[in-house]
Amino acid sequence: MTAQASVCIQEPEDTSINTANAVNRCRPGYGASCSFCCGSHNFSFSPECIEELFISRDPESATMISKHPDDACEPKLFRDMMQCPHIGISRSEPGLVGCLTYCDDHMGRKFESFFNGTCKGFHCSAWKELTDRQVLFAAELMKDWYYYSLLVNSLEKVQDLCAEYESPSDVSEETLEEIKAELRANMMDDERI
């Protein structure tokens, strides 16, 4: 196993989150990352176009955005769900999605209020329900932000895969493509987004 990715994180204050986990569900390593709770998948674009958008977001200009995440910057896939304007892919961490302003020491009172009122209210079942092994399995299998996010938020699917396969390397390319197709289809039918 590779070392975990280092990230700027704040310890969750929500006691329902299992903070005993050693693996960060948002940044587990293997090139995987997740901002699903922030609406990273709530765009009516292809994964490639969403990634282009995230890459184009500049951390310097992101601190100037004052829109509430329920207000869309782009066409939403799900009208009533979040689409945070602060999600992006930093040039210093290619391929990893995350908040471009979360670790900004100069974000000011309006963003302090934004984060306290919005971001601290998120709940991610993967923190509580999945073991570190299951999270690392999903990360190593998918190795990206788009499909890792879908898989790690499909708790039963991750658990079934870990029960069926000893290692992600045991999953054939054909099976992996079937899993990805199933995750895409389930997202369109899923009420969690």
Does residue 102 or residue 14 have the better pLDDT? 102
pLDDT higher than threshold 90 for residue 160: yes
What pLDDT digit, counting tens, does each position of 105-115 carry? 566 666 676 67
First CA to last CA distance, the chain: 31
Helix axes 155-164, 173-189, angle to 10 degrees: 160
52-56, 78-82, 124-128: least confidently modelled range: 78-82
What pLDDT digit, counting tens, does each position of 12-42 carry? 333 344 456 789 999 999 999 999 988 899 9
pLDDT at 131: 95
Task: Spell out the domain ranges in the chain.
Answer: 36-189
Cα 146 to the chain's mean position, in Å? 8
